[in-house]
Structure 1
Amino acid sequence: MAAGPDGLMIERAYDTQDGLFDLAWSEINENQIIGSSGDGSIKMWDATLADFPIQNWQEHQREVFSVEWNLITKDVFSSGSWDHTVKIWNPQAPRSLQTYTEHTHCVYSTSWSPYNPTVLMSGSGDQTVKIWDTKSPRSVQTIRAHNNEILSVDWNKYQDQMFVTGSVDRTVKVWDLRRPDREVICLAGHEFAVRNVKCSPHRPNIVASAAYDMSVRFWDTAAPLGQNMISLHDAHTEFVLGLDFNLYVEGQVATCAWDETVHVFVPPGLMGR
């Protein structure tokens, strides 16, 4: 996309053979983007080159639901698939570097630690979050986080042991790896499954969640219990699937939904907390 006199304009478009579930810009090359597909493939495009992928990996046996770049080791990314696996990739390698097979249900989300370059976590339909260290062939920790499928996970950007989860059980939970037997706080309010959770890149206590109830909610985890929801965005008219904070404009958020719209806004009540 590029900004024009009439707003956002399409700069380049790519056709694919199946639906795309996730996209992620490269952390090392500003022109490269990876996409995960319903046909089990992961493709990489370069915005400066032709209309065809510059790389195409076809290892997953089912839909690839998520892809994410490592924030520290910037030439590595992860993928999570409905084939129950988590895979680690380098864009220069023809095959995955590692495959983890311990989950017993779809892997919906993966997230790299912003503190440790070899640590990532995954959230699955088997109701668990698993912590992986790429130096180990097996998971280093397993947390039964919900009583239903876990659709999204994200690390806190300021507290290296803290992360959040979003589930089909309609709740958002905050966790501390040092006390994995029980969540730090359970944030209830969504009316349907929570599809996406994101921790603020600017404040350690702010969490956003997007759900199938067509809403986006903003939470202050440091507020008194029962007063945690600080803002509600309910302008979408269909399921809200995509959610992210702007790294460069504090408080600004972008969301996308099945209503074919993208909303960019600063939630009231978020600033100054």
Structure 2
Amino acid sequence: MAVTWNTKWRWHTGYNADSVEWCPIESYRHVLACGTYQLEKKDGGTDVTDQPKQKRLGKIYLFSISGDTTHLSPIQELDTAGVLDQKWCYHTIQNYPVLAVVTSEGIIQLYRLMEENGTLNLRLWIEDTIGEDMLALSVDWSSNKLLTQEPKLVVSDSSGAVTVFRIGDERLQKIGHWTTHSFEAWIAAFNYWNTDLFYSGGDDCLFKSYDVRIPEAIATNRSHEAGVTSIRNHIEVEHQLVTGSYDEKVRLWDVRQLKRCISETDVSGGVWRLKWHPFDERFILAACMYGGFRVLRVEKKVSVISEYLEHESIAYGADWKFDETSLIATCSFYDCNMHISELNM
């Protein structure tokens, strides 16, 4: 299969870029959120790396990118703490698209996408604290497949814990907290087919499974050779899940049998994010840190079919646009760059 990438736009993000997320809601699929963070500088211009508490500044940029877009320019810029992860809910809540953001101050924020005077803006709706002196590292929604007006969210953090919340009564209700990894819990993700189940991956190389009704992990897998950094359940293919790791491998799993993966594939870079194609169940987009970006094809095993190496720093953020144009957003860290590319498959 011939696969080519065509870079349409490049945009300098100012702060270090680590997250890009297209809105999946049909009327708002032209909307893209880019999250960034940067260590606060001393007066002398050096990072405050010798301080016990490094303050991380962050910005969220909101873009509207459609067929008549000629250049990139954000329609909104929000100041916040450092953004570590963002995820859109796959359906509206109370008729609003909602973006979940987790920050370097251990906070989860929910923003509503609202139209005011003909312009789209994110407005803070709900926020809560995960804990003090920690970074909230990842977030996932339970409702990507099974729609509900009171979805759950799972957040992982730098203390090695995962916390599950439910939206209710205009607030986040904590329904469980698991202190589970020896080091950072880099990632947490739901089973979208059974939202009582969720998973986490940590810097201790462990991949764990949970049931929200049980106060400890129900299974632990030790097959990753380095920290587990990405987990993504498939919305269209039941029981299918992928994980990524600092060991530069993508592993394909059947969630009914998590003792051993179906296959593992070397992608020549530590894997930070994995995204299933929104309309074609065969393909995965991978952000591979120092290895750039990859498109993977899933058949009986996972194979690399294309790579994108035009970023000059750590490949952290990647997402497919939720339409038939095959647009991809990617972002990289120290060079503070976001690219919008078209994939020809």
TM-score (norm 1): 0.85
Match of 1:2 among 31, 39, 64: 64
Letter in 1 for 2:240: M
Q: Once the 2 structures are TM-superposed, how far is the Cα of residue 90 of structure 1 from its aligned partner?
A: 2.6
What are the equivalent positions in structure 2 for 1:131-146 lying under 5 Å apart?
A: 131-146=209-224
Alignment pair present for 1:44 and 2:110 = yes
Greater RCO, CA 8 A, separation 6+: 2
Counting matched residue pairs gives 265
Letter in 2 for 1:222: E
Alignment pair present for 1:195 and 2:266 = no
Alignment pair present for 1:79 and 2:177 = no
Whole-angstrom CA distance in 1 between matches of 2:264 and 2:325: 25
Alignment pair present for 1:56 and 2:127 = yes
What's the counterpart of residue 265 of structure 1? 341
Q: Contact 1:44/1:53 (CA < 8 Å) preserved in 2?
A: yes
Letter in 2 for 1:45: Y
Q: Contact 1:218/1:231 (CA < 8 Å) preserved in 2?
A: yes
Inter-CA distance 176–31: structure 2 relative to 1 (3 Å threshold):
closer
Q: Contact 1:214/1:238 (CA < 8 Å) preserved in 2?
A: no
Q: Once the 2 structures are TM-superposed, how far is the Cα of residue 5 of structure 1 from its aligned partner?
A: 5.4
Superposition RMSD in Å: 2.6
Whole-angstrom CA distance in 2 between matches of 1:77 and 1:182: 27
Inter-CA distance 145–204: structure 2 relative to 1 (3 Å threshold):
farther
Q: Contact 2:285/2:294 (CA < 8 Å) preserved in 1?
A: yes
More strand by share: 2
What are the equivalent positions in structure 2 for 1:240-251 lying under 5 Å apart?
A: 240-249=315-324, 251=326
Describe the superposition over 1:222-245 as per-residue Cα deviations: whole angstroms up to 9, x where unpaired. 2778xx211111111111111122
What's the counterpart of residue 217 of structure 1? 294
Inter-CA distance 214–224: structure 2 relative to 1 (3 Å threshold):
closer
Q: Once the 2 structures are TM-superposed, how far is the Cα of residue 6 of structure 1 from its aligned partner?
A: 4.2
What are the equivalent positions in structure 2 for 1:100-119 lying under 5 Å apart?
A: 100-119=178-197
Whole-angstrom CA distance in 1 between matches of 2:251 and 2:122: 41
Letter in 1 for 2:164: I
Unpaired stretches in structure 1, ≥5 consecutive residues: none
Alignment pair present for 1:123 and 2:167 = no
What's the counterpart of residue 13 of structure 2? none
Q: Contact 2:270/2:291 (CA < 8 Å) preserved in 1?
A: no
Q: Once the 2 structures are TM-superposed, how far is the Cα of residue 83 of structure 1 from its aligned partner?
A: 1.3
> For 1:194, what is the secondary structure of its paired residue?
coil
Unpaired stretches in structure 2, ≥5 consecutive residues: 1-62
Percent of aligned positions that are identical: 20
Alignment pair present for 1:208 and 2:285 = yes
Whole-angstrom CA distance in 2 between matches of 1:246 and 1:51: 19
What's the counterpart of residue 234 of structure 1? 309
Runs ≥4 in structure 1, deviation > 4 angstroms? 3-6, 49-52
Q: Contact 1:110/1:153 (CA < 8 Å) preserved in 2?
A: yes
Whole-angstrom CA distance in 1 between matches of 2:92 and 2:251: 32
